[in-house]
């Protein structure tokens, strides 16, 4: 029988009502008590690592998760992390970069309703997660939610209340789980390299969202203070004329800054070669492009790169465009 470590971090799944709204209070042992059937296919141990509303999740907490998994890696066949849904996609992306080549599954799940309610998605999500974490063919970092298995770098929360809260963006779900059966759509090719843990993240990353009529008032401060700037632009990517002169100047003034062009559009990614507003900045400045990566993956990947420059010992652009856990499919070779 497979041994699975259950790591609780809080979230709606473990919440009870208080005078100030839902608050994480249910222990991992209590959570397991709601799903006794998992004992028929795996042996579960529990750790209460955190007890947070996931709105309060930070990179320091990702480091705690990675450290915990690293400490217990040899003793277990798989890991299940209970997590709030609001920042789950960020955590799944971050762990995809911080734990690479894991032949053991690291499953992240949660719920839209607390587990102690009569009608809830928590029980099915947990059962599916333990089932997936116990399966011989599972590996790497994934979200298991509403019967879907989504690569950790491809998940995005697209609904705030419904049970089908997460979608796999521009990539198929790796598998579906129904009636205790795992139906795999993407075959898992076993990793040849040994598992590699990274426990550093540099969160000095700024997300700058473009809006019509944006002005350059705070650009100077952003470039001066942050190691990396992600521009969440319109459509396939570009810089509005209202800030382009200052933006070009600052890119050249701070050539060491990691600047990445992303898009506000959920599907199909960026392509700065399409329009003049994108071509100009790509020609003038050393700027990276998100292509088909999710915004959550872009931000997590930059934090990972910045935090592990010395260890990675590669050109930053090459690292950014290296596909990890399905995060980048088309990249620079995409066809328009």
Work out whether strand 228-233 and strand 258-263 pair parallel, antiparallel, or are unpaired.
Answer: parallel
User: Could you identify the residue written with the tokens 């790169």?
Assistant: 305
Q: CA triplet 159, 165, 168: central angle to 5 degrees? A: 105
Q: For 17, what's the count of Cα atoms within 13 Å in the CB-facing half-sphere?
A: 4
Give the integer Cα–Cα distance in Å for 166 and 49.
24
Give the integer Cα–Cα distance in Å for 316 and 24.
39
DSSP assignment string, 69-122: HHHHGGG-SEEEEE--STTHHHHHHHHHHHEES-SSEEEEE--SS-TTSSS-SH
Which residues, in sequence order, are bridge partners of residue 228? 205, 258
Active-site hit among 9, 12, 46, 294: 12
Q: In what order do the strands lie in the sheet with 148-151?
A: 42-52, 2-10, 78-82, 105-109, 140-145, 148-151, 175-178, 181-184
Of all helices (H) and strands (E), which one includes residue 320?
Answer: helix 316-320
**Number of other CB atoms surrounding residue 162 within 10 Å:** 10
N-to-C CA span, the chain:
50
12 is catalytic: yes
Give the integer Cα–Cα distance in Å for 156 and 165.
8
- Identify whether the C-beta of residue 42 lies closer than 8 Å to the C-beta of residue 133: yes
Give the integer Cα–Cα distance in Å for 205 and 275.
26
Mention every residue, 6+ apart, whose C-beta is less than 8 A from residue 107.
78, 79, 80, 81, 129, 132, 133, 138, 142, 143, 144
Residues labelled as active-site residues: 12
């Amino acid at each position: 029988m497979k041994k699975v470590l259950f790591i609780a971090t809080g979230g709606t799944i473990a919440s009870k009502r208080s005078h100030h709204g839902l608050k994480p209070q249910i222990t991992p042992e209590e959570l397991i008590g709601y799903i006794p059937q998992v004992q028929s296919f795996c042996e579960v141990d529990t750790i209460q690592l955190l007890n947070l509303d996931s709105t309060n999740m930070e990179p320091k907490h990702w480091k705690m998760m990675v450290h915990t998994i690293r400490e217990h890696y040899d003793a277990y066949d798989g890991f299940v992390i209970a997590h709030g849904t609001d920042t789950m996609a960020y955590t799944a992306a971050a762990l995809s970069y911080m734990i690479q080549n894991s032949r053991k599954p690291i499953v992240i799940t949660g719920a839209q309703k607390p587990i102690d309610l009569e009608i809830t998605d928590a029980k099915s999500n947990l059962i599916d997660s333990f089932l997936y974490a116990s399966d011989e063919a599972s590996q790497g970092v994934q979200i298991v939610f509403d019967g879907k298995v989504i690569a950790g770098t491809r998940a995005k929360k697209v609904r705030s209340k419904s049970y089908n809260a997460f979608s796999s963006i521009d990539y198929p779900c790796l598998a579906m789980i129904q009636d205790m059966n795992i139906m795999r759509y993407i075959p898992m090719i076993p990793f040849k390299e040994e598992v590699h843990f990274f426990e550093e993240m540099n969160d000095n990353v700024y997300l700058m969202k473009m809006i019509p009529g944006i002005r350059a008032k705070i650009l100077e401060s952003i470039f001066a203070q942050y190691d990396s700037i992600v521009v969440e632009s319109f459509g396939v990517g570009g810089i509005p004329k209202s800030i382009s002169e200052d933006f070009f100047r600052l890119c050249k003034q701070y050539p060491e800054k990691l600047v990445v062009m992303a898009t506000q559009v959920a599907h199909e990614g960026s392509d700065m070669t399409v329009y003049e507003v994108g071509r100009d900045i790509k020609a003038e400045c050393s700027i990276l492009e998100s292509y088909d990566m999710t915004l959550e993956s872009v931000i997590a990947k930059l934090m990972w790169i910045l935090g592990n420059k010395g260890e990675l010992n590669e050109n930053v652009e090459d690292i950014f465009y290296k596909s990890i856990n399905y995060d980048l499919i088309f990249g620079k070779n995409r066809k328009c």
